[in-house]
Amino acid sequence: MQIAKVRGTVVSTQKDPSLRGVKLLLLQFVDEEGQLLQSYEVAADSVGAGVDEWVLVSRGSAARQVQGSEQRPLDAAVIAIIDTVYVEDRMIYSKKDQYR
């Protein structure tokens, strides 16, 4: 999985019928030190992530293992909101105090 930051939303009305009710988030990937990278992903959200939060995104058929998405043509899903990221014993991210 990859770590990404929620940056915004994508809205569509003319779409595959199975996507009705699915919230689509615009994510930007971060590197292991938390720097924003020049690549993004649009992913279905099933954990209620908000703008600026760090999330874990799964891609490929894994995105359809989220309950209710088994038949949806999705290839990326937000599967967790990240609390902390440690590199060895150094905390490089903490949701609570945005400590980096």
| Nearest alpha carbon to residue 30 among 53, 8, 51, 2 | 2
Q: How far apart are CA 14 and CA 99, in angstroms?
A: 41
From the CB of 98, what's the least distance to its own copies, in Å?
Answer: 15
Q: How many CB atoms lie within 10 A of CB 85?
A: 19
Binding test (CB under 8 A) with its own copies, winner from 21, 23, 28, 34:
28
Binding test (CB under 8 A) with its own copies, winner from 21, 23, 34, 41:
41
Going from the C-alpha of 61 to that of each of 3, 19, 71, 81, the distances in angstroms are 18, 16, 10, 20
Site map (CB under 8 A) of its own copies, residues 57-96, x = contact: -xxxxxxxxxx---xxxxxxx-xxxxxxxxxx-x-x----
Give me the residues that bind its own copies (CB under 8 A), please: 1-3, 7-19, 24, 26, 28, 31-32, 38, 40-43, 46-48, 51, 56, 58-67, 71-77, 79-88, 90, 92
